[in-house]
Amino acid sequence: MPVTTSSERGPDLHTPLSGVPLTHGQLPRYAAQFTLLAAIAAGIALTLAGWNPAASAIIAGAGYVVVIYAWSRTVEGPRKARDRLVTAVVTGAFLLALLPLVSVIVTVVGNGIARFDVEFFTYSMRGVVGEGGGAYHAIMGTLVVTGLAALISVPIGILTAIYLVEYGRGRLAKAITFFVDVMTGIPSIVAGLFAYALFALVFGPGVRMGIMGAIALSVLMIPVVVRSAEEMLKLVPNELREAAYALAVPKWRTIVKVVLPTALAGIATGVTLAIARVIGETAPLLITLGITSSVNLNPVDGRMATLPVYAYYQYVTPGVPPEPALERAWTAALTLIIIVMALNLIARLISRLFAPKTRG
């Protein structure tokens, strides 16, 4: 047998592979931070030199990306350089996406805080001209209408999802899935027109009622509830259903006692987010509810005020002088944002409270 040389036996593990050293150059520890500071300084300098702030920010950002990529490529090699490039781009995209959010919050809080007082939350606009007044009627209207919409859409949505996941086979299930998808894309104004047309058929044109708004909102809300509940029910392992069937539990009881409790956290979160999605709708409520200046808590009796429509009308028809109305509009917007944020927090809380516990 011929003696094999080391080159024939494959790579020798004691010496580094040819051409691929294990060490390579590294940028100094604070290279990225330093470059960023330089870019920011350059941006500020450009602004001071009379450039548009947005333009100088874009140039500073682009300058940072170019400098860090070129520097890293010469010192660290192409893979690290690509990593730094993508990190910079992704972070930039994130900051860009954050910009409108921060801007909206700053503007709304800044303008809305002036009237964020007790009077705003305890008075309606009845008999108010100029200063004073509040949005008590609009807040209550929003709560009543959205609550009614949730009351209509949550049972329909969850039952539809149960049908689709547990029973639906064949054409009917496919058709329902398709129409739910179509409903997701309905413009909100169309939902409002639908509710208006429906009630105009019975009560004649010009009808305004809280329940109409609730129906318009539920048209928008049902597909969201169906979709989220469907996903959550699909996540329930089939083994749990089989375990229940093997214990001689009938199908409907299995769904009520095993499947729904297991998916409850997700469904509740989905419902809360669906509510948050429709609570700020303006267009359908503009058509179906109109606006009023006094408190009306009866959803089947005439016009009702809601926060988004209230804000809209305060802004569009401010009166003379306009300042108090504009301030009320901003505060209404701020209140709406706070309600939506509270709903999101509640959704998180619900998903934490109801989630199946794995540890004792």
Partner 1 sequence: MAKRIEVKDLDIYYDKFLAVQGVSMTIQPRSVTALIGPSGCGKSTFLRTLNRMHELVPGARVDGKVFMDDEDLYGPGVDPVSVRRQIGMVFQRPNPFPTMSIYENVAAGIRLNGGRMKKSELDDVVERSLRSANLWAEVKDRLNRPGSGLSGGQQQRLCIARAIAVQPGVLLMDEPCSALDPISTQAIEDLMLELKTDYTIVIVTHNMQQAARVSDVTGFFNLRGVGQPGELVEIDETTKIFSTPSNKATEDYISGRFG
Which residues bind to partner 1, rule: CB under 8 A? Answer: 169, 237, 239-240, 242-250, 253-254, 257-258, 261-262, 264, 356-360
Nearer to partner 1, 9 or 169 (CB): 169
Question: Cβ closer to partner 1: 168 or 284?
Answer: 168
Closer CB to partner 1, residue 236 or residue 333? 236
What are the residues whose beta carbons fall under 8 Å from the beta carbon of 90, sequence distance 6 or more? none
Burial class (CB in 10 A: 0-12, 13-18, 19+), 99: exposed
Q: 141 or 270: whose CB is closer to partner 1?
A: 270
Q: Nearest approach, Cβ of 237 to partner 1 (angstroms)?
A: 7
What is the spatial distance between Cα 150 and Cα 213, in angstroms, rounded to a whole number?
Answer: 12
**Least Å distance between CB 256 and partner 1?**
9
Burial class (CB in 10 A: 0-12, 13-18, 19+), 116: middle
Close Cβ partners of 183 (under 8 Å, ≥ 6 residues apart) = 219, 222, 223
CA distance 202 to 207: 9
Shortest reach from residue 83's CB to partner 1, in Å: 40
CB atoms within 10 A of CB 351: 17
Q: Is 56 within 8 Å of 81 (Cβ atoms)?
A: no
**Minimum CB distance to partner 1 smaller for 8 or for 239:** 239
C-beta of 81 vs 158, nearer to partner 1: 158
Report in angstroms how near the CB of residue 115 gets to partner 1 at its nearest.
Answer: 46
Q: Which is nearer to partner 1, 262 or 272 (CB)?
A: 262
Separation in Å, CA 327 to CA 95, 107, 135, 222, 318: 30, 12, 12, 34, 10
For the bound state, the minimum distance from the C-beta of residue 280 to partner 1, rounded and expressed in Å, comes to 34
Closest separation in Å from C-beta 354 to partner 1: 9
136-162 and 307-316 helices, crossing angle to 10° = 140
Q: In the complex, what is the shortest distance from the CB of residue 348 to partner 1, in angstroms, rounded to a whole number? A: 19
Tell me how long the chain is. Answer: 360
Whether the ω angle into residue 321 lies within 30 degrees of 0, i.e. cis, is: yes
